[in-house]
Amino acid sequence: MPNLEDFARGGWIAPALLGVVLGSSLQLQQAALWPWPVYALTAATALAFLGGLSLAGRGATGRGDPLGLTALLRGSIVLLACALLAFGLCGLRATRFAAQALDPALEGRDIAVTGMVAAMPQRHETGLRFHLQVEAATLDGAAVRVPPRLYLGWYGGAMPNPEGRLELQRLAPELRAGERWRMTVRLKAPHGNINPHGFDYELWLWEQGLQATGYVRSGPRDVPPQRLADTWRHPVERARQDVRDAVFLHLAAAPGAGAAERKSAGLIAALAVGDQNAIERSDWDVFRATGVAHLMSISGLHITMFAWAAAWLVGALWRRSQRLCLAWPAQHAALVGGLLLAGGYALFSGWGVPAQRTVWMLATVGLLRMSGRRWPWPHVWLLACAVVATLDPWALLQPGFWLSFVAVGVLFATDVGIPASAARAEGARAVVAHAAGRLLSVLREQWVITLALTPLTLLLFGQVSLVGLLANALAIPWVTLVVTPLALAGVVAAPLWHVAAWAVQALALYLQWLAAFPFATLSAPAPPLWAGVAGVLGGLLLAMRLPWHARLLGLPLLLPVLLWQAPRPAVGQFEVLAADIGQGNAVIVRTAAHTLVYDSGPRYGPESDAGHRVLVPLLRALDEKVDMLVLSHRDSDHTGGAAAVLNMQPRAALLGSIEPGHELQAIRAARRCAAGQAWRWDGVDFEVLHPALSDYAAGAKANAMSCVLRVSNGTGTALLAGDIEQPQEAVLVERSGGAPRTGSVLRADLLLVPHHGSKSSSSEAFLDAVQPALALVQAGYRNRFGHPSPLVVERYRVRGAMLIESPRCGALRWDSAAPARSICQRDLARRYWHHRVS
């Protein structure tokens, strides 16, 4: 077997480390997993190559190869072999985990499980969510196999029973980590929304080790959940929960506590125990606008600062004992002590993925230093990256991984340090010069990182904070040196949490002031990968200590990412992008120079909706300036994200059938939609077909008042039908002339299926008049309404229409230039961890 000395002697370290990263990255691009023996054979073949190359290289001197071609060939073989090894090992881990998936036959069934609460539960307004480590599971008295770890919700209020009817559920009790429970649960496969430039919820579940989600059944006809025991298992999670509860008890629940105290309690809980869910959404909006969101959870910066402080303290104490110093050098003791204490802090903060990455990186660099090896910085950087890729290859798909590692690499490459003039100073002047030099060094570090990471931030998020440099200049030392130590010290002395709260409130005032600037953030369309990479290299060149004529070469590399424009339809054409938002409607219609949003998706909870989660990031990534938001009717699965879209798009007009007293009227005055309204954008015609103005006086229910919008350019037509039902469909058919014909105003290539495929809609007469080639059902996976109805599915099938369901398709893209084709985001971006709906 090859060892480290063989690699060092042959100059193979860099190719080997690069191969590990590339191999892991390549495996993550697979749409489907291969059988596990294929991965095992790949890894074994790679090990055989490396072993043979190591034996062959021990006697080689390279004297007969003045051009270094032999070394280049061997380096290439090492890179390929290590890539294959990493590919095989990553694939083996993935196949082993995928084998634990939930049996589709168990989805939607009431299963009795016994298990342990394995993590700190997260409580919210409608209930709580928690991880359950399963010990036993039965269905109708027979043992069944379910994934070893479940992600469950326990909700109060109404939930569907086995017949689909709503039943009131018992309110969730105060669960504690380490408790053993017996409960009835209803499970489903991990399934999330798949949108362009969107958050991959299924990847997040995969990385957390969760292979099924579901909820606790606690209705009047269910066996009541039963607490069986309170065990010593998961003591760290129990301690985290106790600290979080104590923070809220001392701050948010204290007499006279107000909104400021509740907000401060959430941030202190996040910094002390890693509970990011405790931070309110409005605060996250401010943190993102000012570029300090990375500070408000347990990130690599916090772990690194804690490790530095712990190492300094351990080293100082160690040096006070001559016996200890003789037994083991103080430098080594400080390094190991700092690393162990930082690992403990990361564990207590929830052992999140960013914290894990940092601990592995610090451990790698620390062990390298203790071994006495002095590697060039690119090798050290690649080693840390390869270790993280080996231990957690799916971290390579997380934006935080690239932001942190690129930032470290930039600091290595630019060699930021104390100016030489400060280092040469003597006496009292040296103290002042050193302090000033250190301050300038810190400011330059922040400037260098900001410059280099701006293109990468635009690539990953489509937005960058222009006030981030000012915000971080104060927030980084304030949060890491004041707020976080006080938050941790409050575990021992609770009154210090009040001091931490004052510090948080002072920082909040500064950040809110910066976020209020009209130029606080810059949004740009998400550039392609090549443009983002070129931009990072350009920022690095500008930041490096090079002559200015060399630095200026970075400017052309920045231009693609800064000037990139998302492609738009040609004049006379239009594009429909139906977002994947679960149970609801949300459709974006784009012409050459205009954008319309039809409905805004559902509200998921008090702090979450389709606007914030899906539409706002999607519109930002496409750099859309919305001209009109159409809300078909007032139901929350169509208006849930409207407030977020309207706040993001100040110039968007609002058209809909919502009543005058609706809460959205306070954000933007709405104009009633009415049959006969029509306009033309860039050669594309828009026409409202329903409701008639007289319908508003009739007091019809919300679904009957849905705004039906027809979009056409003469060669391609889309019909967006909202939640109309068969009586409204009959009216539309009658207005169009009754009998189906090619020239019917209802004729459409793409139909947004009325009412999500409910059996109360999609009448035969309506479908005969529309004659859709493609019909899209926007509905949630395993929704409680049973949409789309099998009867409706059959109606579309017998008419030859291609029925596309969003749970199977994800976001759908349709272009009037090719009306017979559509693109499903799940097919376009499929990866092996994505759920395949049967």
CA distance 435 to 429: 10
Per DSSP, 647 falls in state H
Which of 44-58, 354-368, 434-448, 499-513 is most confident? 499-513
Which of 373-387, 408-422, 441-455 is most confident? 373-387
Give pLDDT, residue 735: 86
Give pLDDT, residue 240: 93
CA distance 560 to 527: 8
* Of the candidates 11, 3, 24, the residue with the CA atom closest to the CA atom of residue 76: 11
Q: Name the more confident of 279 and 66.
A: 279
Q: Name the more confident of 581 and 413.
A: 581
Residue 22 tokens, joined: 């590339």
pLDDT surpassing 90 at residue 366: no
Burial class (CB in 10 A: 0-12, 13-18, 19+), 820: exposed
Helix (DSSP H) and strand (DSSP E) numbers for the chain: 31, 29
Place of tokens 């100082």: 316
What is the Cα 557 distance to its own chain's centre? Answer: 28
pLDDT surpassing 60 at residue 374: yes
Residue 624 tokens, joined: 């859309």
Give pLDDT, residue 439: 64
In sequence order, which residues have a C-beta less than 8 Å from that of residue 666 and are 6 or more positions away?
Answer: none
- The percent of residues in the chain predicted with pLDDT above 70, rounded, is 91
In sequence order, which residues have a C-beta less than 8 Å from that of residue 813 and are 6 or more positions away?
Answer: 575, 576, 577, 578, 822, 823, 825
Give pLDDT, residue 424: 44
pLDDT surpassing 60 at residue 65: no
pLDDT surpassing 80 at residue 744: no
Q: What is the pLDDT of residues 711-741, one digit of tens each?
A: 999 899 999 999 999 999 999 999 877 555 4
CA distance 552 to 364: 36
Q: What is the pLDDT of residues 458-489, one digit of tens each?
A: 888 888 899 998 998 899 889 988 999 999 99
pLDDT surpassing 90 at residue 787: yes
Give pLDDT, residue 419: 45
pLDDT surpassing 60 at residue 63: no
* Of the candidates 684, 523, 442, the residue with the CA atom closest to the CA atom of residue 197: 523
Q: Are 132 and 121 in contact (CB under 8 A)?
A: no
3-state secondary structure of 87: helix
pLDDT surpassing 70 at residue 18: yes
Give pLDDT, residue 447: 76
Give pLDDT, residue 422: 39
pLDDT surpassing 60 at residue 829: yes
Residues making up the chain, counted from first to last: 838
Q: What is the 3-state secondary structure (H, E, C) of 64-81?
A: CCCCCHHHHHHHHHHHHH
pLDDT surpassing 60 at residue 192: yes
Place of tokens 């892991």: 24
CA distance 452 to 570: 35
Residue 829 tokens, joined: 């971006």
Among 23-37, 60-74, 338-352, the minimum mean pLDDT is found in 60-74
What is the Cα 467 distance to its own chain's centre? Answer: 23
Backbone angles phi, psi at 345, to 5 degrees: -65, -45
Give pLDDT, residue 158: 58
Q: Are 560 and 469 in contact (CB under 8 A)?
A: no
CA distance 132 to 115: 6
Q: What is the pLDDT of residues 790-810, one digit of tens each?
A: 999 999 999 999 999 999 999
Q: Are 630 and 673 in contact (CB under 8 A)?
A: yes
Q: What is the pLDDT of residues 169-184, one digit of tens each?
A: 667 788 999 999 999 9
Which of 276-280, 437-441, 760-764 is most confident? 760-764
pLDDT tier for residue 831 given thresholds of 50, 70 and 90: very high
Backbone angles phi, psi at 384, to 5 degrees: -60, -40
CA distance 98 to 206: 9
Q: What is the 3-state secondary structure (H, E, C) of 388-446?
A: HHHHCHHHHHCHHHHHHHHHHHHHHHHCCCCCHHHHHCCHHHHHHHHHHHHHHHHHHHH
Residue type, 711: V
pLDDT surpassing 70 at residue 157: no
Q: Name the more confident of 168 and 353.
A: 353
Q: Are 507 and 475 in contact (CB under 8 A)?
A: yes
Q: What is the pLDDT of residues 240-289, one digit of tens each?
A: 999 999 999 999 887 877 888 888 999 999 999 988 888 988 899 999 99
Residue 617 tokens, joined: 């990031």
CA distance 224 to 246: 29
Q: How far is CA 535 from CA 29, 453, 527, 530, 539, in A?
A: 23, 9, 10, 9, 6
* Of the candidates 571, 613, 576, 567, the residue with the CA atom closest to the CA atom of residue 597: 576
Q: What is the pLDDT of residues 213-246, one digit of tens each?
A: 999 998 888 889 999 999 999 999 999 999 999 9
Give pLDDT, residue 435: 58
* Of the candidates 267, 236, 361, the residue with the CA atom closest to the CA atom of residue 307: 361
Q: Are 765 and 730 in contact (CB under 8 A)?
A: yes
CA end-to-end span of the chain: 45
Give pLDDT, residue 113: 98
Place of tokens 């299963």: 111
Q: Name the more confident of 67 and 124.
A: 124
In sequence order, which residues have a C-beta less than 8 Å from that of residue 629 and are 6 or more positions away?
Answer: 596, 597, 600, 642, 645, 646, 649, 652, 653, 654, 655, 656, 668
Give pLDDT, residue 477: 87
3-state secondary structure of 577: strand
**Helix, strand, coil tally for the chain in percent (to 5):** 50, 15, 35
Give pLDDT, residue 522: 86
Backbone angles phi, psi at 2, to 5 degrees: -70, 150
Per DSSP, 602 falls in state -
pLDDT tier for residue 28 given thresholds of 50, 70 and 90: very high
Q: What is the 3-state secondary structure (H, E, C) of 732-743?
A: HHHHCCCCCCCC
Give pLDDT, residue 62: 52
How does the average pLDDT of the chain come out, rounded? Answer: 88
**Model's pTM, two decimal places?**
0.90
In sequence order, which residues have a C-beta less than 8 Å from that of residue 502 and are 6 or more positions away?
Answer: none
Place of tokens 């909006």: 285
**Helices of type H across 158-234:** 201-207
